[in-house]
Copies of this chain bind each other. A is one copy, B any other.
């Protein structure tokens, strides 16, 4: 699932997300890429699907939006649970990888005989910068 080489559309979508300072919706990405020939939502969604598979873009479920991965170390598609702290004011998103959370959720699932395929953890609130101000 490693990205051999990104296609043109994938690279454009990734670049747009990387330059953004907050999560972007698929339609916002589309608007930003109209000058580069994008015309239809599917062009964006198809690129996002691949980038998400590669693990270099994340979808934020509580926002219906997407961010480029800013994780310190690389992580593929199945390399553990990621928690997101999302600032409601400035849109800043920080990724948190924490084995304790992961282990605890795994235990809770096992106790209930639940087999987890995918875990979503999203904290909405206010980052330090926005609280100080």
Contacts and interface: CB of A to CB of B under 8 A. Distances in A.
9 contacts: A83-B105, A88-B117, A104-B104, A112-B127, A114-B126, A114-B127, A115-B126, A117-B124, A117-B125
A78 interface: no
Interface in A39-54: none
Tell me the number of copies of this protein: 2
Given A104-B100, A105-B101, A123 B113 contact: no
A113 B98 contact: no
Interface of A: 61-62, 83, 85, 87-88, 94, 96, 98, 100-101, 104-105, 108-109, 112-128, 131
A5 to B, nearest CB: 31
A118 to B, nearest CB: 5
A125 B101 contact: no
